[in-house]
Each structure stands twice: as structure tokens, then as C-alpha cells.
């Protein structure tokens, strides 16, 4: 089977053609995965401007879909279905993608699956590695920071989340505070390479507490204090601050995941498979630390390719294929800018929903 995937939840316009593989649970085959980034459109503003993003999606999407079809060597009539991100994300972008997908599905009489962007991330390891259920998912991005138990398609259990800022937001704001260009995450990672992570001993929020939840607003405040107190905020000091910040983030995540491993092993009497997804999962130091943790705990570690960690349409097409094979209802319920993957999980009082209160929020 072949599916067209469409992704327009934030500032990437993407389309992909993905097919099922020889095995029922994966891995699949990516015939085309086209992504158009809007970074240059938003760089002057230091973050994603929703109106600009929506207009850019309108201008680019038709051409991106045509390019994906041409690369895959298929026509719309040859597809078995269409999947589109309908949340969470920026409303304007979601409307552009969903309306386009509806039109194509109606004209070509194809089933349409409206997909939770986070489910795309959650199932990527099945597309790339045929990972069997259950497994643990670390979802770290500009809009979300969560640890989830993935029991199956459409069956997710959130074990931890951030009680305030998402990790990607903390990276972005740290970069902005230090005068680093947008997008901030890769700039912080690059600067940290030439810094001493022990120069600044930043706090490890919620350290020693029983909770698996995370907090990054205090860490962000500590970074601001260090920058203000520095006699000279030159490139070397910026590197020291970035290295200290990144080390604190890594320690927090490895601590929470180690205790999540304990919980998984108590439930299933076996070591887990850990999947990392979201833009922050492309951070090399974090990947190295998580790989080391899994090796120590005899757990399996799967890090999807960099291009499948950030926003893309291949994961959306695959999520649609997974649902289609299981005959899961594909009723179109419209866009959902706020759409938790585990809808039974209680919202954290201090956590902000996707895109709230800042530019640059990403799923």
C-alpha cells in the first residue's frame, strides 16, 4: 500500500509518499520525502510568525505535493489513501494542509486520515526499524516534552511531561538571550562544543523528587543570571553557558528516563526499547547520552535519522498507513490546534499549550 502524507503544522511544508514493507509491522519504504523550510521567512522575527507561516504553506504546498509524487513515480490515482496533520499546531497552517488533503481525497475518492502530529513521531520507529510494541518514547521539541508508553497504534500513556516550558523553547530562549541566531537549538549545540560544561553548574530542576515530570523555566532563569553576571559575555563565555545548559538538560532527561526504565521493567519484566523523537532529539550530545544509558541498562536504543526527527510528512503518511491497516475509524473531525496524544492525561497547571505566549513554538 502507498499513502500520501501532508504536514503543515508549523514552519515546514512537507509531503511524502510512503509504502508498507514486506513485514506487517514495518519497516516501511519511503519513496519520497520533500520538506520545504521557512526558516529564512521567520529569521528576522526570532521565531515562527503564524500568519507568515500560513501564507507560505499556501504558496508552496501544491508544488511540494507534485514534487513528492514525481519523485515516487506515482499518480494520485495509484494511492491507497491520504494522511494529513490536523493537530496540534498553528491553526492557519493546519487549515491549509487539511483543506488541501480533503480536496485531493474527494476528487480521487481516497480515504482521508487526519493524524495527530505527535502520533507521527510516536510511530516513526516502526517505519524505520519495525519496532514492536510496547516501547518508550521520549518526545522533545519546541512545543512538547514528554515521556510516553506506546502500547500500540492509538494507544498511548503519558508518564511525564514538562510542568512549564518545553525543552525546545528553553533552547530557543537560551539562544536568544545569548544573542545567537535563529533557530536557537542548533546554535546552542554548536556553541557548547567549545565550552566547559563544568564552568557553570546550573540546577537540575526537580532533582531528587519522585515525579517523572520535568521543569525548565528555572534552568532558563539560571542561564539568564549567569549571562547578566558575566564580566564579559564574549564568545568563550557564551560557549561555557551553552555547555553548562546542555549538560543540565542531558542530566535531567537521563535521570527521568532511568526511572522510567525501572517502571517499564516492573510492568513488562523486560528492558524497554527507547525511541527519541522531535527536533531536540537531533541534538548529538543528547543522543550520545541516551545511547549510553540504554547500553548500561541493556535496553534497545532507536534514534531515527535526523530528517525524521524534525517535522516531516513521511511519519504522517506512515501513521495513516498504520491506521488504515487496522481499520481504525478515519472520520474527519477538523483541525485541533491543541490535541494531547494521551487524552486521559491531566494537563499540568503551569504548562503552556502549543504555541501559547511565544513565537517559534514547534511540534
pLDDT digit string, tens, across residues 201-244? 999 999 878 899 999 999 999 999 999 999 889 999 999 999 99
Same domain, 108 and 145: no
Q: Are residues 147 and 272 in the same domain?
A: yes
Please, what is the end-to-end C-alpha distance for the chain in angstroms?
27
153 and 268 together in one domain: yes
Residue 209 lies in a domain: yes
% of the chain beyond a pLDDT of 70 = 94
pLDDT value of position 142: 78
Judgement on whether residues 117 and 186 belong to the same structural domain of the protein: no
The answer to the question of residue 15 being in a domain is yes
pLDDT at 350: 54
> In angstroms, rounded to a whole number, what is the distance separating the alpha carbons of residues 18 and 91?
26
pLDDT at 183: 85
Alpha carbons 361 and 185: distance in angstroms, whole number: 12
Number of domains forming the structure of the chain:
2
* Same domain for 100 and 143: no
Do 268 and 180 fall into the same domain? Answer: yes
Instruction: Report yes or no on 7 lying in a domain.
Output: yes
What digits encode the pLDDT tens for the residues 341-358?
998 887 765 555 444 333
Identify the domain containing residue 50 by its residue range. 2-130+307-325
DSSP assignment, residue 205? T
Mean pLDDT in the chain?
A: 92
Same domain, 63 and 100: yes
In a shared domain, residues 210 and 292: yes
pLDDT for residue 158: 97
Residue 24's domain is classified under what CATH number?
A: 3.30.420.40
pTM for the full model? 0.92
- Tens of pLDDT, residue by residue over 77-105, are 999 999 999 999 999 999 999 999 999 99
Whether residue 338 lies inside any domain: the answer is no
Residue 239 contacts residue 247 (beta carbons within 8 Å) = no
187/281 same-domain check: yes
Answer yes or no: is 67 within a domain. yes
Residue 362 counted as domain residue: no
Does a structural domain hold residue 291? yes
Contact 65, 100 (CB under 8 A): yes
pLDDT surpasses 50 at 363: no
Q: Is residue 359 in a domain?
A: no
Count the alpha carbons within 13 Å of 204 in the hemisphere toward its beta carbon. Answer: 12
Task: Give the residue carrying C-alpha cell 494507544.
Answer: 155
What is the per-residue pLDDT across 19-67, written as a single tens digit (0 to 9) for each?
A: 997 666 679 999 999 999 988 888 888 788 999 999 999 999 999 999 9
> Based on the domain organization, do 233 and 311 belong to the same domain?
no
CA distances from residue 294 to 72, 257, 282, 287 in whole angstroms, order as listed: 36, 10, 17, 11
Residues 160 and 281 in one domain: yes
pLDDT at 356: 38
Helix (H, G, I), strand (E, B) or coil at 7: strand
- The pLDDT value given to residue 279: 86
Amino acid at each position: 500500500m502507498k499513502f500520501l502524507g501532508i504536514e503543515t503544522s508549523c514552519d515546514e511544508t512537507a509531503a511524502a509518499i510512503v509504502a508498507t514493507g514486506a513485514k506487517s509491522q514495518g519497516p516501511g519504504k519511503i519513496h519520497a520525502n520533500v520538506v520545504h523550510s521557512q526558516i529564512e521567512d521567520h529569521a528576522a522575527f526570532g521565531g515562527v510568525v503564524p500568519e507568515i507561516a500560513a501564507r507560505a504553506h499556501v504558496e508552496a504546498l501544491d508544488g511540494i505535493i507534485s514534487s513528492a509524487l514525481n519523485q515516487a513515480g506515482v499518480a494520485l490515482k495509484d494511492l491507497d489513501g491520504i494522511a494529513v496533520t490536523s493537530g496540534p499546531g498553528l491553526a492557519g497552517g493546519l487549515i491549509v494542509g487539511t483543506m488541501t488533503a480533503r480536496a485531493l481525497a474527494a476528487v480521487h475518492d481516497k480515504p482521508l486520515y487526519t493524524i495527530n502530529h505527535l502520533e507521527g513521531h510516536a510511530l516513526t520507529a516502526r517505519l524505520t526499524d519495525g519496532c514492536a510494541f510496547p516501547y518508550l518514547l521520549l518526545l522533545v521539541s519546541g512545543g512538547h516534552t514528554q515521556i510516553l508508553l506506546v502500547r500500540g497504534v492509538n494507544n498511548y500513556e503519558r508518564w511525564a511531561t514538562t510542568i512549564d516550558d518545553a525543552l525546545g523553547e528553553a533552547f530557543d530562549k537560551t539562544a536568544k538571550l545569548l544573542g545567537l541566531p535563529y533557530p536557537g537549538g542548533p546554535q546552542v549545540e554548536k556553541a557548547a562544543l567549545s565550552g566547559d560544561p563544568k564552568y557553570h553548574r546550573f540546577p537540575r530542576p526537580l532533582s531528587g523528587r519522585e515525579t517523572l515530570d520535568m521543569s525548565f523555566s528555572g534552568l532558563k532563569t539560571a542561564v539568564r543570571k549567569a549571562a547578566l553576571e558575566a564580566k564579559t559575555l564574549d564568545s568563550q563565555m557564551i560557549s561555557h553557558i551553552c555547555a553548562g545548559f546542555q549538560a543540565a538538560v542531558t542530566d535531567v532527561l537521563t535521570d527521568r528516563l532511568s526511572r522510567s526504565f525501572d517502571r517499564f521493567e516492573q510492568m513488562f519484566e523486560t528492558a524497554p526499547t527507547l525511541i527519541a523523537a522531535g527536533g531536540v532529539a537531533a541534538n548529538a550530545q543528547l543522543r550520545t547520552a541516551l545511547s549510553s544509558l540504554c547500553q548500561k541498562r541493556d535496553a534497545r536504543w532507536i534514534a531515527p535519522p535526523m530528517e525524521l526527527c524534525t517535522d516531516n510528512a513521511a511519519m504522517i503518511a506512515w501513521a495513516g498507513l498504520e491506521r488504515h491497516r487496522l481499520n481504525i475509524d478515519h472520520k474527519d473531525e477538523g483541525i485541533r490546534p491543541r490535541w494531547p496524544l494521551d487524552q486521559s492525561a491531566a494537563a499540568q497547571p503551569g504548562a503552556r499549550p502549543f504555541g501559547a505566549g511565544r513565537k517559534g513554538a514547534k511540534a
